[in-house]
Structure 1
Amino acid sequence: MSEMESTVMELIIHAGEARSASMQALQAARQHDWSEAESLLKSASEASRQAHKIQTALIGADEGCGKVPVNLILVHAQDHLMNAMLCRDLVEELIVLHKEIQEIRKAATH
């Protein structure tokens, strides 16, 4: 495997970890396990940061001149990263809603 393929695969792996941790955080929130949800969101953020570092390095290596060959696997990696970042943002908002719903239910029972 070439260095470029290895780099792109690493980007995909980190993006996949970020998306997976985000979805696990949402599951934890559904169980009202707020500390686990927060911990998983932090893990998702860290994995996203690692993927973003790789993306930034690739952009820097390209220098806006087409030095980095754009192929299907690189497009796939970019797609994974953008989906992971969007997923984390949406999950964070959904967790806020889960907390609000729990508070409303608590207030209704008292």
Structure 2
Amino acid sequence: MEGMELISFQIVSAAGAAKSYYMEAITAAKSRDFEKADKIMAEGLQIFQDAHKAHASLIQKEASGEKIEFNLLFMHAEDQLMTTDLLKLMAHEIIDLYRAQGGNTVEN
């Protein structure tokens, strides 16, 4: 595996792992463990940076004139990157909402 296929899998892998961290952080916040939620979000952000770095490498290649092959796997990687970025923003907002509720108990 090399080239676009490898970069696409790197994006999918990192985005998927970050997505799991963000969901886990929301769960921690729901349980009122904000220290844990913040720690998990930070870990997710570090992993998500790997997806961004892989994506940025493709942008740099194209900007330098190299033709970038567009295929279904890369489209999937782009989709995972965008949805994970959205989840990251939403997770921050949800955690902030739980934090603002203070000591109120959250019902399942």
CA-CA distance at 1:3 after TM superposition: 3.0
Please, which moves more after superposition, 91-100 or 65-74? 65-74
Please, which moves more after superposition, 12-21 or 64-73? 64-73
Q: Answer 1 or 2: which has greater helix percent.
A: 1
Partner of 1:61: 61
Percent of pairs identical after alignment?
29
C-alpha RMSD of matched pairs (Å)? 1.7
- The answer to whether the Cα contact below 8 Å between 2:11 and 2:55 also exists between their aligned partners in 1 is yes
Residues 71-82 of structure 1: pairs in structure 2 closer than 5 A? 71-82=71-82
Secondary structure, aligned partner of 1:102: coil
Secondary structure, aligned partner of 1:69: coil
Q: What is the letter of the counterpart of residue 55 of structure 2? A: Q
- CA–CA distance in structure 2, aligned partners of residues 3 and 67 of structure 1: 12
Partner of 1:87: 87
- The answer to whether the Cα contact below 8 Å between 2:4 and 2:74 also exists between their aligned partners in 1 is no
Residues 12-31 of structure 1: pairs in structure 2 closer than 5 A? 12-31=12-31
Partner of 1:100: 100
- CA–CA distance in structure 2, aligned partners of residues 77 and 4 of structure 1: 10
Unaligned runs of 5+ in 2: none
Secondary structure, aligned partner of 2:101: helix
CA-CA distance at 1:10 after TM superposition: 0.8
- CA–CA distance in structure 2, aligned partners of residues 54 and 2 of structure 1: 13
CA-CA distance at 1:102 after TM superposition: 2.2
Q: TM-score normalised to the size of structure 2?
A: 0.89
Q: What is the letter of the counterpart of residue 71 of structure 1? A: N
Partner of 1:49: 49
Unaligned runs of 5+ in 1: none
- The answer to whether the Cα contact below 8 Å between 2:19 and 2:87 also exists between their aligned partners in 1 is yes
- CA–CA distance in structure 2, aligned partners of residues 6 and 56 of structure 1: 14
Partner of 2:11: 11
